[in-house]
Amino acid sequence: DTAVSQTPKYLVTQMGNDKSIKCEQNLGHDTMYWYKQDSKKFLKIMFSYNNKELIINETVPNRFSPKSPDKAHLNLHINSLELGDSAVYFCASSALGPNSNQPQHFGDGTRLSIL
Amino acid sequence: RKEVEQDPGPFNVPEGATVAFNCTYSNSASQSFFWYRQDCRKEPKLLMSVYSSGNEDGRFTAQLNRASQYISLLIRDSKLSDSATYLCVVTTPGNQFYFGTGTSLTVIP
């Protein structure tokens, strides 16, 4: 069973379009995340979200918005796609708790290419 | 200053060699520490957690030095399959995860 699954795996679309990437985790984790990994390979946190708090990296454009219908899902919606949005987007989840020492588990990634 | 800093490498080592990576972190309140491995065009995968007393998993040894705020990963008897990028990860109170930029390792036949 896939612990963290995200769809689609590949997304090729034109500049200006609106698209969504879905993420689901079946680990019962409290917190989910979205990361962007660009061509320089640096993993940049975009959002972290549990059922109480959304933490947004202030450098993320407001064209990006996370949507969580329930604890097991955190989808990423992107408006007015730009060429610079081309990257691999990873979803992740982790258990929450002080000093929990619980790692993150990642999805396979969505490779977004803007034409 | 970045939360987590790593030497990006690349490290090119022959098979059978021992190689070590270090990673420094800036927040003295950091709570949990991990090493992840990322293969080309794949997702990061947990390699091992890092415990205060140090821990070993086969050929891999991880250590934590809270006083100097660094963690290390030692790989003994390197295999070709160890070629990957190794990411240092630190969490802070509030469950924020901070990733280093990764260290690239290539093991050469």
Name the one residue in this structure whose structure tokens are 């790989």: B75
Q: Is the pLDDT of residue A98 over 60?
A: no
Q: From the CA of A18, how many Å to the nearest CA of chain B? A: 24
Model confidence at A62, pLDDT cuts 50, 70, 90, reads very high
Q: Is the pLDDT of residue A12 over 60?
A: yes
Q: From the CA of B64, how many Å to the nearest CA of chain A? A: 14
The answer to whether A25 touches A4, Cβ cutoff 8 Å, is yes
Q: For A94, which of B36, B93, B95 is closest by C-beta distance?
A: B95
Give CA–CA dist B100/B86, Å, rounded.
9
Q: Cα dihedral angle (A51, A47, A21, B32), rounded to 10 degrees?
A: -80
Could you give phi then psi for residue B18, rounded to 5 degrees?
A: -105, 135
Q: For A106, which of B44, B85, B95 is closest by C-beta distance?
A: B44
Give CA–CA dist B45/B94, Å, rounded.
22
Q: Is the pLDDT of residue A99 over 60?
A: no
Could you give phi then psi for residue B40, rounded to 5 degrees?
A: -55, 125
Q: For residue B39, what are its two tokens?
A: 């293969």
Q: Is the pLDDT of residue A36 over 80?
A: yes
Cβ distance B95 to A41 less than 8 Å, yes or no, reads no
